[in-house]
């Protein structure tokens, strides 16, 4: 196998750079929309911090301790053991960083769902996945910490100790579990978005924002394959574990990118031409759409007549589906957008039901009799 040192450098530089840019743009989007930070933002920063630590370990490992390279057969036993000692120590560091970063990314996305889908049938599944993610990180940290007794024996074989966990099975079991969880997490918003009364193109665009996370699943599959084929008795550990940890690096960084992407619409609206952002908004007999300068997915608000008295600050982060009005009238979908300072020209708006995207984009479901043109 050719040396994979350059692959490690490329994986870190490209995917960590993408994660860094995504986090910066996420923070900038928050400033544009003048929204306070919530749990999903703090979890995202946590994921980035642990992910950056993971990337740093990979760089040190590749630069100084032969990650992705075959050990020279002319090395003395003492030199070889010293290299393997540091390889095992760096592996342990990456296991902790990987676990905390991946778990933080899961909490980021699930917290975002909780904020968006406030009145939704997927609230209970979100709670279940939050509990499952917490159980996953606790179990993984527990297993990492107790895989050898004492833990130091994992990297320093000169002391007395024992290891009771097969590394290959450990990697496979924990990665498979979180892969299945990722599939479920990606599916949750699709269930709700497909119910919205809007053009297919718009639905696909919104779903596409959430499906960026599918790239993480591809990386997880490769990590799974590498976990199955890894031989813990190998004499070329730096070479044989390289792909596992390089793709783990890709997984960690792209998870951060995917957790930020749904919130970057305000930034895209500044960079991309309005004609591009409204490309899905062609005329339709039962819907019409306009886009403003600050259209964003993250501030979705649902209101009905009964909810108008509620505290708006607690309900401006919602996404829900109203399949029909409370009355018998047929409904049609109007997707419109206004600046913050503008007011509706409809005098009857107070009596209408609607799905409203606060601040920037407003999605309203109105009785057909109120539509003009």
Ranges of residues in the chain whose predicted pLDDT is under 50: 1, 280-373
The pLDDT score that the predictor gives to residue 55 is 98
The pLDDT score that the predictor gives to residue 279 is 52
Q: What is d(CA 166, CA 92) in angstroms, rounded to the nearest whole number?
A: 14
128 and 106 Cβ atoms separated by less than 8 Å: no
For domain 5-263, give the fold. Rhopdopsin 7-helix transmembrane proteins (1.20.1070)
Q: Which two tokens stand for residue 51?
A: 């992910």
The pLDDT score that the predictor gives to residue 194 is 79
Query: For residue 5, which of 54, 67, 65 has the smallest C-alpha distance?
Result: 67
Q: How far is CA 255 from CA 97, 159, 180, in A?
A: 14, 38, 15
pLDDT tens track for 268-316: 888 776 655 555 444 443 333 333 333 334 434 434 344 443 433 333 3
Overall pTM surpassing 0.75 (yes/no): no
Residue extents of the structural domains in the chain: 5-263, 273-370
């Amino acid at each position: 196998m050719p040396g994979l040192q350059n692959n490690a450098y490329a994986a870190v530089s490209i995917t960590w750079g993408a994660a860094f840019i995504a986090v910066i743009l996420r923070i900038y989007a928050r400033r544009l929309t003048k929204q306070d930070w919530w749990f999903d933002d703090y979890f995202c920063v946590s994921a980035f911090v642990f992910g950056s630590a993971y990337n740093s370990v990979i760089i040190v490992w590749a630069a100084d301790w032969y990650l992705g390279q075959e050990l020279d057969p002319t090395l003395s036993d003492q030199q070889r053991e010293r290299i393997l000692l540091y390889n095992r120590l760096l592996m342990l560091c990456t296991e902790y960083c990987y676990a905390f970063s991946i778990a933080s990314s899961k909490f980021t996305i699930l917290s975002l769902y909780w904020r968006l889908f406030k009145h939704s049938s997927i609230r209970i599944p979100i709670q279940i996945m939050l509990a499952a993610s917490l159980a996953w990180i606790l179990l993984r940290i527990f297993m990492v910490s107790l895989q050898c007794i004492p833990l130091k024996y994992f990297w320093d074989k000169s002391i007395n100790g024992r290891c009771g966990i097969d590394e290959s099975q450990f990697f496979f079991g924990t990665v498979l579990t979180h892969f299945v969880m990722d599939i479920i997490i990606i599916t949750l918003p699709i269930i709700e978005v497909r119910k919205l009364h809007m053009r297919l193109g718009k639905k696909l665009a919104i779903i596409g924002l959430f499906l960026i996370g599918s790239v993480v699943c591809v990386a997880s599959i490769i990590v799974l394959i590498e976990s199955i084929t890894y031989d813990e008795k190998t004499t070329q550990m730096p070479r044989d574990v390289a792909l596992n940890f390089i793709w783990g690096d890709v997984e960690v960084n792209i998870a951060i990118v995917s957790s930020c992407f749904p919130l970057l619409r305000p930034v895209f609206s500044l960079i991309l031409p309005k004609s591009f952002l409204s490309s899905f908004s062609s005329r339709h007999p039962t819907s019409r759409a306009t886009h403003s300068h600050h259209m964003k997915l993250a501030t979705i608000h649902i209101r009905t007549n009964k909810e108008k008295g509620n505290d708006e600050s607690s309900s401006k982060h919602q996404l829900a589906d109203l399949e029909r009005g409370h009355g018998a009238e047929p409904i049609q979908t109007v997707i419109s957008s206004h600046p913050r300072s503008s007011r509706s020209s409809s005098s009857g708006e107070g009596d209408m039901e609607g799905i409203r995207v606060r601040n920037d984009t407003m999605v309203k479901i109105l009785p057909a009799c109120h539509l003009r043109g």
